Structure 1
């Protein structure tokens, strides 16, 4: 009897799935396809070709894909190789609490080079990918100026607190915060523009807003003191690094593909104003895909008088983990991380660490999500190029997610001395 099984059929989105096919003819070649529709109706597809063994079985944990969207042994390849049918769409979970992404796995006889959606699959299986666990609580935050969503694990706590910051997409992005909370952290997904009554555009970074958010988090009865962590990417990583430099509440910081200086809009903290470096729009490049690369538009804080825009990384109280994709097509993130480390070392500090991932792009996210090579960003007339090679990017996301959790556990959870 022909069977396609995926175990577990319902799990967190950052958990692996074991896919097997049984009941085939020996050495039969088949196509396994995955499909997913996001909450806006955008369709994402992937496929791979496999040859059954002598027992008529295919096991994605040990059998190599012969072709399709990837080649070789990749147990989760059908998930991370999903691509949008409509170009430049980014897969983003909106409702993280009440509904999962549903990934449909279909098995077809022989090799289907064309999209096999018109054909009837021999057998199918649906997998649910959740972004929250039972007992996880989501609390809408509208206190003072602060806007966001706080995710609390089940139990009394206290839990290590983390602020989660995304970049130029704006609004409130919750999927990473809810997944991290499912692993025992209390995480505040923090909006800072283009959300509710916050400014529609980011015209300056007011660090006092982020300090207010840090104080709010630390004042919560379920949050562990004395300090919080910051998890940040892109423009958020620029802000996260500034928080590490200036805010005493920040005990540990993770910056994913961000700069070590202030760009485009000024940073203000009380009487302090850090003037930004500006993009040289004349150096914009258009990729063959039609997406826009801004990587070459950036000057650097090492260029003469522009050092005034550099963040004083040496003043950070807690440790900093820089996570870098070396195929980042949006920022010179590897250069910025090296410069930040030089700043630390130059002041006798050993509190920084860099993780560089060959072949990884800009949008390093939790594991098994598909690579977004380029996508639309609000307010831009062309899609932005992010970069990344699918298999290498997937491996980076899987490893980095574990490192993120280890880093926060190491630096936010106090060790208890043994009597």
Structure 2
């Protein structure tokens, strides 16, 4: 058995597997086992069985499994189809640490031989420095020594978890950027919850990025996901030093503050000079009614219909709309047409129409994916089977899309994100 594979790579990169020297007209079984480096005991597994043809070769990018945890001709199927096979009760979203790589055990078993290979999936290059920042705000800066790299300010979603952003910051910094990740609520000097987050907080960060010896950033790039995408577009519409924005699964409007399962106060998520920025109210009754109907029908539920119907009821949409046309930035919008957290595809389409109507002079691009929902913006780390559907309220909550559709959208959009920031 001869195996062709790149054993070490970055976490977001594809692995291509080709096996030759097999007995013609036999079977080849491939299986993967993985534990995340910060969460030992939580094991994920996948497998695929292939028919070996007359050539005695199986190219995983060209061969569909005859059975397994995935069906497509795709070497990465073994990784994106990983499912939990053992648990000791740990939460994989806690204690995230990217200092150690993900190690995957790939086993290949033919009719006459069994081989095992360890795949090493790195979060960051060896020369990336991670510096804790506490200078009027808290955060982490990922950078290379003595570089003149462009600077990306990265904003997460409504979970408020800074650790999760490191999963993207490491790979982005390894491609030649300074990446600063910051909280915007739930930290010292900030609102405890995602309620009336002051935009002045970011003015302080912008000044720091401009004056800091490492970054010296006269131009700022933003990357925002979900509520962070809403925030990134809002900031770009108000601050001219922002020159590039990647908004992943964003919305067109400022929405009501989030508190738990959409039971927020009657205030905006954002504020300026002590006042709530105009917002669209989110009607909780719609969510509970739609959720109950979906559970009774035995189908997964989400939040998207709540946002759609809340927008239909709103009589202040123009006041709450983010005036993206006032930005001076190139913008990359990324969304899935099956987003079930909120209707980000409708939102991105509306942003494009508004920008066109205002003769926007900067580059704007929309990447939309037919079968993608609302996944993380980086592929091949947290197994999609773990995040796509989960028990909630005596039913099944889904973020939308298929495993294959989310994997494709994650991979393609993250590669496009790197290209967009580089060019």
TM-score range, shorter chain: 0.7 to 0.9
Match of 2:331 in 1: 320
Task: Tell me the TM-score normalized by structure 2.
Answer: 0.84
Q: 1:246 aligns to what SS in structure 2?
A: coil
1:134 equivalent in structure 2: 126
Matches within 5 A, 1:215-254: 215-223=207-215, 225-254=217-246
Select which of 130, 139, 150 maps to 2:141: 150
The separation in 2 between residues aligned to 1:184 and 1:258, in whole angstroms, is 25
Which stretch of structure 1 is more off in the superposition, 265-274 or 301-310? 301-310
Matches within 5 A, 1:20-99: 20-38=18-36, 39-40=38-39, 41-85=41-85, 94-96=96-98, 98-99=99-100
Distance 2:248 2:187 in 1: 23
2:320 corresponding residue in structure 1: 309
Residues 147 and 6 of structure 1: CA distance in aligned 2, closer, same or farther (over 3 Å): farther
Match of 2:184 among 192, 197, 206: 192
Does the Cα contact within 8 Å between 2:333 and 2:366 map onto a contact in 1?
Answer: yes
Q: Is the 8 A contact 1:162 1:231 kept in 2?
A: yes
Return the alpha-carbon distance in structure 1 between the equivalents of residues 394 and 326 of structure 2.
38
After superposition, the Cα gap between the structure-2 partners of 1:258 and 1:357, relative to the gap in structure 1 and judged at 3 Å, is: same
Distance 1:282 1:214, change over 3 A: same
CA spacing shift, 1:376–1:257, aligned 2, 3 Å: farther
Residues 52-98 of structure 1: per-residue CA shift (max 9 Å, x gap): 233433221332222322223102111112233479977789211x2
Deviation at 1:108, TM superposition (A): 4.6
Distance in 2 separating the partners of 1:392 and 1:99: 29
Residues 245 and 227 from structure 1, CA distance in 2 versus in 1: closer, same or farther, beyond 3 angstroms?
Answer: same
Query: Which residue in 1 is equivalent to 2:413?
Result: 400
**Aligned in 2, Cα 1:196/1:61: closer, same or farther, shift over 3 Å?**
farther
Deviation at 1:241, TM superposition (A): 0.8
Aligned residue number for residue 264 of structure 1: 256
The range that moved more, 328-337 or 215-224, is 215-224
State how far apart, in whole Å, the 1-side matches of 2:221 and 2:78 are.
33
Deviations 1:118-150 (A, max 9, x none): xxx943222111101111110111110x22111
Q: 1:391 aligns with which of 393, 400, 404?
A: 404
Structure 2 Cα separation of the partners of residues 240 and 100 of structure 1: 30
Q: 2:24, 2:54 within 8 Å by CA — same for their partners in 1? A: yes
Pair 89,334 (structure 1): closer, same or farther in 2 beyond 3 Å: farther
Are residues 1:367 and 2:379 paired?
yes
Mapped contact 1:334–1:356 kept (Cα < 8 A): yes
Q: Cα offset for 1:329?
A: 0.9
Mapping of 1:109-128 within 5 angstroms? Answer: 122-128=114-120
CA shift, 1:37, in A, is: 1.4
TM-aligned CA distance change 1:90 to 1:176, over 3 Å: same
Distance 2:220 2:356 in 1: 24
Equivalent in the alignment of 1:414: none
Instruction: Determine the C-alpha separation between the residues in 2 that align with 1:198 and 1:381.
Output: 34
Between stretches 284-293 and 20-29, larger displacement belongs to 284-293
Partner Cα distance (1:88, 1:53) in 2? 43
What secondary structure, in the 3-state scheme, does the structure 2 residue paired with 1:251 have? strand
Of residues 263, 277, 280 in structure 1, which corresponds to 2:280?
A: 277
Q: 131-140 vs 334-343, which deviates more?
A: 334-343
| TM-score of the two chains, using structure 1 as the length reference | 0.84
Following superposition, which runs of at least 4 residues in structure 1 exceed 3 angstroms of deviation?
Answer: 20-24, 84-93, 107-110, 194-200, 285-292, 367-370, 374-377, 380-384
Verify the 8 A CA contact 2:4 2:19 in the aligned structure 1: no
CA RMSD of aligned residues (A): 2.9
Unaligned runs of 5+ in 1: 111-120, 411-419
